[in-house]
A = this chain, B = another copy of it.
Amino acid sequence: MEPSINFKPAVSLTEQIANHLSDEIITGKLAPAQRIQELKVAKSLGVSRGSVREALLILEGRHLIEIIPRRGAVVSGLHREQVESLFEITSTLLTMLMTKATRVWKDASELAGFDDALKDMEQALDEGNIGAFTDATGAYFRAAFPLCGNCYLQSIVEDLLPAHQRLMYQVLARGSERMEQDLAELRAVLVAIRSRTVQAVEHTMSNFSRRQRERALELS
Binding site for B on A (CB under 8 A): 12, 50, 53-54, 57-58, 61, 63, 69, 81-82, 85-86, 88-89, 92, 96, 149-153, 155-156, 160, 163
Contacts and interface: CB of A to CB of B under 8 A. Distances in A.
Given A63-B152, A88-B152, A156-B156, 10 more contacts: A12-B69, A50-B53, A54-B57, A57-B58, A57-B61, A61-B61, A63-B155, A85-B151, A85-B152, A152-B163
5 contacts: A50-B50, A54-B54, A85-B150, A86-B152, A88-B150
A89 B50 contact: no
Q: Across chains A and B, which 6 residue pairs bring their CB atoms closest together, nearest first?
A: A85-B150, A50-B50, A57-B57, A89-B152, A61-B61, A85-B152
A116 B58 CA distance: 34
Contacts of A88: 150, 152-153
A153 B96 CA distance: 15
Contacts of A57: 54, 57-58, 61
Contacts of A82: 151
A152 B90 CA distance: 9
Contacts of A163: 152
